[in-house]
Structure 1
Amino acid sequence: MDKSACIAKVEDLYQRDSRKVFATLVRLLGDFELAEEAMHEAFAAALQQWPEQGLPHNPLAWLVSAGKFKALDGIRRKQKFGQLQPDLQRLAEELGEHQEYMAEQEIEDERLRLIFTCCHPAIDARIQVPLTLREVCGLTTEEIASAFLTQPATLAQRIVRGKAKIRDARIPFKIPELAELPARLDAVLSVIYLIFNEGYSASAGDAAIRRDLSDEAIRLTRLVLELLPDPEVMGLLALMLLHESRRAARTDENGDLVLLEDQDRSVWDRQMIEEGKQLVRRALATRRFGFYTLQAAISAVHADAASPQETDWHQIVALYSLLLQVEDSPIIALNRAVAVAMRDGPGAGLEIIDQLLRHKELAQYHLAYSARGELLRRSGQPQLARQAYAQALSLAKQAPERRFLQARLAELDA
């Protein structure tokens, strides 16, 4: 492999797998900041050495090993100048004795281990999910804040507190015993769901879809289902599979968004759909289902419709009403409003959306204004539709969504 190809391989590994390497280093080093620094130094070393020496047999294991010894070198330098704390002294001794070769699958599973660590009951529930999204998935504080409809500065403070709690309470980096799993399950599923959402519809950037994140979320959920065959784990996996089945139809050849009603349903992945529907049936049969299973059931209704006109909107509205009883969320209420509009006409949906926009939770949520603009357009109110789309455009950060909104505005101007 020539030098440029080697550099490209390192860059690709960084984009796809840097958080896997980071998760392993966190477990080995027991410190988030130290692991972050070691991970970056390992990739820098790869950029220097691989073009000259060639690709190692197991690149991820090489990066973990390099990061570990970079951290050890840093600890020894501090030791030399008498700056070593007792905890770092102990860590240096452990690393010096521990020549570890990580198999590929072991590194894959480190991320699940780190998720369970970040979701430990000793950590404030408000901190668990944003901490995991930042440290396990590498999402920026701004991306996480967008998912939580909150301010980046507030989330940044929570993340710092979460890392300090793990360090000070010496929370172990491991998957808990079977008896301890249910106590952490809600937080773990919340994290995985948000990972998938960021992959399914990126909050910012040039691409509408980040396949690496959605694939990782599905893989992690399968691992959790092996550990604990809970109905809501089945429901979450079903939901992700049913959404992911539409991936090929969700964007056109230019990377622009295609709305659900305009998608070519013949390219939907029927194998994913069938697996998702089977999981929904299994979860519903337990009669212990909740938030994720109900959402999966809604997606299954969409998957059953051969065309947009055949969609059973009565059933979808009923499922959203039930979902709101489980989780009183403004975003779920917004989705229900759109379903009501499809069932009863745009005016009925607009009435609900206008009520929702009076609450501050959706004030900065671009999809609320986009939905309002679409219903105003369909109800023959182009001037008001233009105002709503312009408001959505001012808030949208993802390039394909911005192009979609600009196209709608151009149509209204024409």
Structure 2
Amino acid sequence: MITPNLHYGDLKDSYLFYHISQKVQAYLEAHPEAVLYRMGIGDVSLPLCPAVIDALHQGVADQGSKSTFHGYMPECGAPFLRQAISQHYGRRGVTISPEEVFVSSGASDELGDLLDLFDRSSSALVMEPAYPAYVDANIMAGRKIIHLAAGEENGFLPLPDEQTEGDLIYLCSPNNPTGAVFSREQLQKWVDFANSRGSIILFDAAYEAFIQDKALPHSIFELKGAENCAIEICSLSKTAGFTGTRLGYTIIPKGLTRQGMNLHEMWVRNRTTKTNGVSYIIQKGAAAVFTAEGQRQVRENIRVYQDNARMLMDAFDQLGLWYCGGKNAPYLWVKCPDGMGSWEFFDYLLEKIQVVGTPGEGFGACGEGYFRFSTFGSPQDTREAARRLVKLLGGK
């Protein structure tokens, strides 16, 4: 008799965003005329920029001609895209070789697949509140999970101390869900900690393009010693609107080793065994993101989301609500008013003003009493949601 992976039985009953969609669907069935203002799930609302569209069209045209046709792509990424990403890091003063760049169909895929590199006996340190997939992927693998609490007292940016443990360390900066961003000094403490005990940092940099403060690091490889302890996972989903187009990339330094095993070489073997590479057409579009014109155009879109953040921050400032995020991140993490629970606040906003956000409890126990707002909606919807929030909560 075959035995299934029994660790799936340890997962929570429903994934956070599935549970939200069920609640929203039930509300719409009861109120079919309702217009919802969706400030919850982090999907983008602006289309791909013209430079990317032109490159995608060119990629399609290339596939229609024998001289430019591409079949299977290199499993680790097309050389032209790996080179473009390497040069993008170089313009920020970070030396990454093209061979250290691995192209994928998205950061979410990589965050799960990278666990193949580590034995199940390796523990995972996850800061709460956390992106739920960090926890779920390790539960599925049967790995011990260590939860590190974060809160207002440390700005939702906990640092290691003598009691901290964990073989795999998940860091996300700018953070999802809190929007908090590690300073250079704070991130250096995590790098030094990882190097002191032989841990590996899985650094989720999916939102680095939203950092406005020039003093804040965009990449963990800006920190001394990170090449000896870190893997960086990036995405074009929020940077360039690739949520439906799908492309990400992972940086694994060539010299990253543990117990005589080279993690870079291991990942090459993993990718060449388990994948057939990402579509030429998609990689062609992705390369356009890293051109001068592509960078200018994606920055224009990001500015729209940053303006949305300012609208929400202005509303929360008027209401006197505690929050973090917004300035350097596409999320705002707000303390629920009047001691309300996070799911209670979700229901309250949905019923009273048709605004949909994300209950903090869905990101772990430390998220209870907080609420995440996304800035990826349209400016019109964001402005109306902010107005409704001020009107509803200003009278409480």
Instruction: Give yes or no for TM over 0.5.
Output: no
Q: State the TM-score, normalized to the length of structure 1.
A: 0.23
Question: Which is richer in strand?
Answer: 2
- Greater helix fraction, Structure 1 or Structure 2: 1
TM-score (norm 2): 0.24
